[in-house]
Amino acid sequence: MKNLWNDEVQLRHSHESGNLIGDDLKLRVYTSNLFGRSDELVLHGGGNTSVKTVINGEEILLVKGSGWDLVSIKAEGFAPVKMKTLLEMAELKSLRDSDMVAGQKAAMIDKTAPNPSVEAILHALIPYKFVDHTHADAVVTISNSACGIENIKEVFPNFLIVPYVMPGFILARTIYEMTQGLDWNRIDGIILHNHGIFTFDNDAKKSYEKMIKAVTHAEEFLEKNAKVEFSFAHAKTKEFDVKKLQQLLSKEKGYEVFIKENRSDLAKIYASKDENIEEAIENYKNEYENYFKKFAKNEICLNSAPNFIVVKNYGILACGKSEQEANIINDIVEHTMMAVLRADKLGGYKSISLKDSFEMEYWELEQAKLKK
């Protein structure tokens, strides 16, 4: 993992940012942009960052606002939330996520700012000025394997390891309970199993470099134990009627879809079954609808047609309502493929349960984010 910090660029960046809230926010914007430049750390709105500061005599958490990408976030992309309110919320035994969002919004000192990240309470709980959270590929890959917990503990012996729980208030409350009486000086960061990694420090550069060091350590573990070879990637490939697939999916989705073809070496290695595309789509829809019926309570079923397709001896096809959406889906699939292939070498890919997957997919805050 390359360290992108540059003292000269940082100083120029801070000068150009102006004196909006002071050096704290300038540094926060700079390191957030650095994280966003590394696809191996965050993709398309993923991850979040924060800085604790004092504004008009009150302690405030400036946390990434919902809808902003770290690679392009500016000062106005951070939501200023009262620390006192966030810490009081953490002490509650239970809280609906919709009420949490409303409470965070009410605690903002600038009502025109974007909604705070759903992890704002968690950021407030960590007693350091700068807090960084990414969904680093290397960390999540190790986590999402048959021996994930054991390997994570081996790679990160000085990190607090948190078993998977839903993001939002449940996660914040879990960490609140786990850190009562904790000597924070004794840990280097936090690993959220099947989710991501937190690093923190009172110095922006040190917090950033802790993240780079930790992810590099995970990458070195994978290079040693789960290297993917591309030696047979140029095997004979077949032709495929992409236009026909586009017509089929447009009919299933109810709108014209855009197809992003991925015939990279990685995609060719990953591509496996599904000889009959009509039958494969129908089978997928049936399986999705059965999955929905098994876990649904009062949710409304989303469109059951697939968003990407693995075509044997051809590659990967990502499908979206626009070219931009198809490209985003392809980016996510590209990173997922490598994670799955590497996890296979660690005993097999093992993510969260289907029940947890359903709760995440149909989580009210996730659906609201996707609608944006």
Both 36 and 66 in one domain: the answer is yes
Both 215 and 257 in one domain: the answer is no
Domain boundary among 181, 199, 225: 225
Residue 118 lies inside a defined structural domain of this protein: yes
Both 186 and 298 in one domain: the answer is no
Assign 63 to helix, strand or coil. Answer: strand
Residue 356 lies inside a defined structural domain of this protein: no
Both 250 and 193 in one domain: the answer is no
Nearest to 149 by CA among 336, 340, 341, 350: 350
Both 89 and 34 in one domain: the answer is yes
* Helices 364-371 and 97-106: angle between axes, nearest 10 degrees: 60
Q: Which helix (H) or strand (E) holds 268?
A: helix 265-270
Both 192 and 339 in one domain: the answer is no
Both 273 and 216 in one domain: the answer is no
Both 254 and 131 in one domain: the answer is no
Report the side by side order of strands in the sheet with 308-311.
258-262, 315-320, 308-311
Per-residue pLDDT tens digits for 115-160:
999 999 999 999 999 999 999 999 999 999 999 999 999 999 999 9
Under a CB-based contact definition with an 8 Å cutoff, are residues 211 and 199 in contact? yes
Both 257 and 195 in one domain: the answer is no
Both 204 and 76 in one domain: the answer is yes
Distance in angstroms (rounded) separating the CA atoms of residues 47 and 70: 8
Assign 311 to helix, strand or coil. Answer: strand
| Domain containing residue 207: CATH number | 3.40.225.10
Both 178 and 325 in one domain: the answer is no
Distance in angstroms (rounded) separating the CA atoms of residues 131 and 136: 15
Q: Which domain holds residue 306?
A: 242-344
Residue 121 lies inside a defined structural domain of this protein: yes
Per-residue pLDDT tens digits for 298-356:
899 999 999 999 988 888 999 999 999 999 999 999 999 999 999 999 999 999 999 99
For residue 235, what pLDDT is reported?
A: 53
Residue 24 lies inside a defined structural domain of this protein: yes
Both 189 and 248 in one domain: the answer is no
Q: How many domains does the chain have?
A: 2
Residue 189 lies inside a defined structural domain of this protein: yes
Per-residue pLDDT tens digits for 44-102:
989 999 999 999 999 999 999 988 999 999 999 999 999 999 999 999 999 999 999 99
Residue 271 lies inside a defined structural domain of this protein: yes
Mean pLDDT to the nearest integer, 164-179: 96
Residues of the chain with pLDDT > 90, as a percent, come to 79
